[in-house]
Structures are given as C-alpha cells and as structure tokens.
Amino acid sequence: MKKNVLLLTIACLSNLAAPAQTPFKKGQSIPDGAAIVYALPYSVIEIQAEAVYELFTAGPYARYAQKYLGMAAELGNKETFTLKSIALRTIVEADASQMYTLAIKDKNASANFLALSAEGLVASLAHAGTPETAFRFAAAGQGKFNDTGAEPNIGRDRVTLYKNVQTPEGYEKVPVQQNQLIEKNPERRAEEAAAFIFNLRKKRVELITGETEASWNSDGLRAALEEIKRLEEEYLSLFLGKTTSGTQSAVFHLTPDPAQAKQLYIAFRFSDTQGLLPASNVAGRPVTLELVSEKKTAAIPSNNFNSDDKRASRIACRLPDTVQAYLNDGQNNLLQARIQLYQFGPILSLPANLKIK
C-alpha cells in the first residue's frame, strides 16, 4: 500500500496534556496507509556582532620625523579593533532526537492536523539545519602615500674627479670639477619634504597676516588656505603615517543544552588586534552567554509517550520556556535579553483530530 509521509516540525503554544504517541526510531518502517512523520522543535541562538577597526600605516619617512620636524612618529603598522554593536535572536529548527510517526486513518484528522500550519504551529523541515558561522569585512584599504614634492627626484652634485696630465716632470693627477646626476636617497627626500612643510606654513602666515603682494578676495583666500592645509596634511602623513577605518561583522550560532548543569557558553571570542573570532580560536578573550531559566513551565510534567498505548492518536508538541540571556565580555555586560527556548520546556500532546476553526 502507498505510504504518504509528511515531514513537519510542531510547536505547542498552550498547556495541553494527554499521553500516547509513537516515537520514530532510526530504521523504523513507515506504517501502511496515510502517515505523518514529524519532529519537535528546538531553539538555536543567533548572535550578530559588528566591530570597527583602524589600520595605521607608518609613513615612509617616519624615521626622520624627529630629525627634520621635531616630532615623534610610529615606525610600524598596526591594526586595532573595537566592538561596536551586538544583537541576539532565536531560530527554530527541527530536533532530530525528537522524531514521531503518526498514522491518520480518518480524513478529518488529517485535514485538522495540516490546518495547524495556518495557526503557526507547524513549520516545514525543508529549511532545517544549523547555520554556519559567517564573517564579513568592509575593507578599509591600505594607506597610500603620494610624495609629489616640489623638487625633482634627481639631484645634481658637484664631484671632484682626477685625470692624469703629462708634464715635463711626468704624469700628474689634476682635479677636475664635474656635475653628476644622482637619485636622491630617502633621507634627502625627507629633508626636502620637511622643508616644503615649513614653507607651506610660512605662506599660510603671510596670507593670514596680509604680508603678501597678491590681493585676495574672501573666497580666493579661503580656497588658498584650504589647499595649503590639504598639502600640509599630505606631506605630514609621509612622516606621521595614515589611519584608515572599516567594519567587520560576524554571525555566530550556538544550541543550548538543557541537560548541562551550568548554563554558561562561549558565544564567540574577541581580540583587540584580530577582532571577532569563533569560540574555538583561543587568540581572543571569550565573550560568554549565560542563560537563566525563569522556570515558568517547571510545574508542567512532560508526557512519556508509549508506543503500546491503544487510545486515540495524539500529537506530541513542545512548550517553550522563558529564559533570561546575558552576554558578557568579562565583567562587562554587553546585552541582556528575554528569549524563549523550546528544548527547555516540557513535551506535551494534543488530539490528532483537534478541530481548527
């Protein structure tokens, strides 16, 4: 006989009680006739975190900043992360350890069972499965330096060469002065860049105090001062470096276990130099999730379903319990939320021929 099997996840939202149901075991055959195989739900906690990071790139002339500008500069690149925002929510998935099979012999029961979907009590298993941890970076980009100085990269140096000249006494070395083109080394270019900075500052003072022969209207003067400021900042970055920023986001998932004595979990880890990290990466400090049940369903006993029970077919369902969730970074509380977790509540039942209006 043809077997019609429907995979469903059921959540019960009211306090219903009555025993009898057939647990579905691995390797078990589906009963002949119309049958439904479904799973009870459990809750997965999803944590969405975002961090901002700053990337410092040392300037090419950093080692000469003290000598030519009288300013100390960082010599190495570095990256720092700061936790910006965090959010928490729950996702309902199918609990593979709580699978049940239900044979439905009358059409009304089957229709009523399927009608539960419209009431929000039945969810398809098609999208079940624990999501993977995901990371995303909004790249900040490396700091770029542009040394377009007023002086060329090639300089002229006067050098003294000697050539042999024949004299009555013999050959003598005679000095000869010549100009040679040479490529400037980094220190010389740093010296010229520093001189250009001081020249810009001098020009700015002349414009502000009016010690110049040029005449400026207010808009022209403002534009000139802004350009001088832009050029000064660009040249100072050659010594003092540049800082760029970006964002890092990640989504973490964990499944709480009600059988665990201490409801304390490592949600993810965070590093000031690496940012958001999975719980398995010990390079960062742990960000913990503590769950405290309000025990609102503690007085409701779970049903023990017996496959030998011959009474009318019943549908197993699970009632969620309310839990207080605390997300902590050491002693610093990042977030507190009140959530519902299905696996923390009791397993109940309702009649298979329940009429849905």
What does the pLDDT look like over 49-88, one tens digit per residue? 999 999 999 999 999 999 999 999 999 999 999 999 999 9
Say if residue 136 is in the same domain as residue 205: no
Residue finishing a domain among 208, 240, 272: 240
Say if residue 162 is in the same domain as residue 310: no
149 assigned to some structural domain: no
Residue numbers of the domain that contains 200? 154-240
Say if residue 162 is in the same domain as residue 268: no
Does 154 score more than 50 pLDDT?
A: no
pLDDT at 166: 67
pTM (predicted TM-score): 0.68
pLDDT at 186: 87
Say if residue 71 is in the same domain as residue 189: no
What type of residue sits at position 347?
A: I
Say if residue 30 is in the same domain as residue 10: yes
148 assigned to some structural domain: no
42 assigned to some structural domain: yes
pLDDT at 181: 59
278 assigned to some structural domain: yes
Say if residue 317 is in the same domain as residue 340: yes
Cβ-Cβ contacts under 8 Å for 259 (sequence gap 6 or more):
none
pLDDT at 311: 44
114 assigned to some structural domain: yes
What is the per-residue burial (b if ≥16 Cβ within 10 Å, else e) of 236-256? bbbbbbbeeeebbbbbbbbeb
Residue finishing a domain among 206, 240, 274: 240
357 assigned to some structural domain: no
Tally of domains within the chain: 2
Say if residue 131 is in the same domain as residue 253: yes
Say if residue 127 is in the same domain as residue 175: no
Say if residue 90 is in the same domain as residue 32: yes
Say if residue 263 is in the same domain as residue 163: no
CA distances from residue 278 to 47, 136, 193, 264, 271 in whole angstroms, order as listed: 12, 13, 45, 16, 11
Say if residue 56 is in the same domain as residue 176: no
Q: What is the mean pLDDT of residues 187-212?
A: 88
Residue finishing a domain among 198, 216, 240: 240
pLDDT at 31: 58
Say if residue 231 is in the same domain as residue 158: yes
pLDDT at 312: 47
| Stretch (H or E) spanning 163 | strand 154-167
Q: What's the distance, CA 175 to chain centroid?
A: 69
Q: Pairing relation of β-strands 33-57 and 242-254?
A: antiparallel
Least confident span in 9-23, 139-153, 170-184, 208-222: 9-23
163 assigned to some structural domain: yes
Most confident listed range (109-113, 162-166, 271-275) = 271-275
Least confident span in 41-45, 284-288, 325-329: 41-45
187 assigned to some structural domain: yes
pLDDT at 119: 36
Tokens in use for 29? 């055959």
pLDDT at 93: 86
